[in-house]
Amino acid sequence: MALATLIAGPTASGKSALAMAWAERDSATVVNADSMQVYADLRVLSARPSPEDEARVPHRLFGFVPAGEEFSVGRYLAHVTPIIVEARKAGTKLVLVGGTGLYFRALTEGLMPSPPIDADIRAEWRARAAAGEDLHAALQARDPVRATALHPQDTPRLLRAIELFESTGRTYTEWLAENPGEPVLHAGEWEGVFLDPPREALHARIDQRFEAMMRGGALEEVAGLLAHQPPLPPNLGVMKAHGVPHLARLIRGGIGRDEAVRLSQQDTRAYARRQVIFARRYLAGEHWRWVGSAEAALTPPR
């Protein structure tokens, strides 16, 4: 049996429930691999495991980052690596679960070393970003593969990809291929499962779950973020979580409840499509098993 089972998939595909079932079956620890579930202030809108689930099996790296801090794949690897080393020495099992494909890619392929970025190029693009330039369109013109994988409001990653291209003349994908990092999980130590339910069923689940989030305190959660002192910049990671921008507009009186919910559901469905597109390129191959349901994932392949 592998040291680590990796459970990936689009948002609302049933990953958390599958991780719980897998961890209980194998006496494993559930480890977060989702960039939004790391935030302490975002339990509802990130669909973090409930306190009851966290009490059933050990959970690591959930809700430990303050809202005012930016989180990165580099920081994630710094936190998850000791957990993997500890499990490797102890002979225990891990279930890493989440929707952030880049975390899984970094775990199994290594983190790309940072290329040298020209200071003038960095200053120019930071100024253009501050002036409101459409960074997603700018990256689309330079590196469409990387642009497809990023949210249009993911300012830090968009800037890094643009600056890399402008400084080196290489796309993010080309640079990564030429400068691979050292993987944390080695071949033979892990098995991957990607949950890929039918689109219509997934979209219905996304819409239903957001309504449940609204009943479960999503609006109050966003109100807490808006009341944070010092104020949180709108381009901070936690403020770009699906639902936060539109619920913030609702709280400020810019739109009504129905419109805020509709736009949040729409954004989440679009994000799910991007997650699958990224996964088809990077979370595929002999080490990944794609299944349509949690039940199929728990059934050993023939």
Query: For each successive 10 residues of the chain (302 residues), what is the average pLDDT?
Result: 93 96 96 97 96 96 95 91 96 97 93 81 92 94 88 84 92 76 90 97 98 98 97 90 97 97 97 95 93 86 58
94 and 205: one domain?
yes
Residues 60 and 123 in one domain: no
**CATH assignment of the domain containing 149:** 1.10.20.140
Q: How far apart are CA 108 and CA 21, in angstroms?
A: 23
Q: What are phi and psi of 185, to 5 degrees?
A: -100, 130
- Signed CA dihedral, 66, 72, 78, 83: sign only: positive
Are residues 264 and 140 located together in one domain of the fold? no
266 shares its domain with 201: yes
| Last residue of one domain, picked from the residues 146, 178, 210 | 178
154 and 293: one domain? no
Whether residues 24 and 99 fall in one domain: yes
Strand-strand pairing, 4-8 and 190-195: parallel
Q: Do residue 226 and residue 254 come from a single domain?
A: yes
In total, how many domains does the chain have?
Answer: 2
pLDDT of residue 273: 96
Is the same domain home to 145 and 172? yes
* Shared-domain flag, residues 129 and 214: no
CATH number of the domain that residue 69 is part of? 3.40.50.300
pLDDT (0 to 100) of residue 181: 75
Virtual CA dihedral for 252, 253, 257, 263, nearest 10 degrees? -70
pLDDT at site 127: 92
**pTM exceeds 0.85:** no
Domain's final residue, options 129, 151, 178: 178
Query: Among residues 151, 178, 205, which one ends one of the domains?
Result: 178
Separation of alpha carbons 8 and 276, rounded Å: 10
pLDDT at 301: 60
The pair of structure tokens assigned to 84 is 């993997």
Same domain for 161 and 24: no
Tokens coding 144: 């469409």
The residue segments making up the domain with residue 85 are 4-111+181-298
**Do residues 76 and 12 both lie within one domain?**
yes
Residue 143 sits in the same domain as residue 29: no
